[in-house]
Amino acid sequence: MKIGFAALAALALTAPAFASEHNPLAAEKVVLDLKGLDLASVDGQQRLAIRIDQAARAVCGDRVATIHLDMEDQARSCRQDVVADIRSRIEQRTASAADLRSNVGAALN
């Protein structure tokens, strides 16, 4: 199923408060573009996983162990939280889009 709804087109992600306070190397926010992903295919799922990982690394920081080990631990924890948040948002929006489609289909019948 290609995700073509505007609600699923992009997710704006903001770094958790602790990530941006302690990591000046991380972005404050990033937009995850979901356009063109077929989430029903293996390729689409792999592309989504790559984009999620890139977004989490941009927001939380990457390879900060060279600066300080505590920063790497915080960045790793932040990335796990961001990935979980993204997946939750995608599931919610997919469910909302499915509900909308079924309501529109029922109204047309």
Tell me whether residue 47 is exposed, middle or buried, using C-beta atoms within 10 angstroms of its C-beta: 0 to 12, 13 to 18, 19 or more.
middle
Whether 68 maps to a domain, the answer reads yes
Global model pTM greater than 0.95? no
The dihedral built from the CA positions of residue 86, 91, 94 and 96, taken in this order, carries a sign that is negative
pLDDT band at 6 (very low <50, low <70, confident <90, very high): very low
pLDDT digits over 41-51, tens only? 999 889 999 99
Give the tens place of pLDDT for each residue, 14-28: 555 444 455 566 667
Q: Is residue 61 part of a domain?
A: yes
**Quick check: 78 pLDDT over 90?**
no
107, part of any domain? no
By residue range, what is the domain housing residue 81?
6-100
Q: Which residue has the higher pLDDT, 2 or 90?
A: 90
Asked if the structure places residue 1 within a domain, the reply is no
**Structural domains of the chain, count:** 1
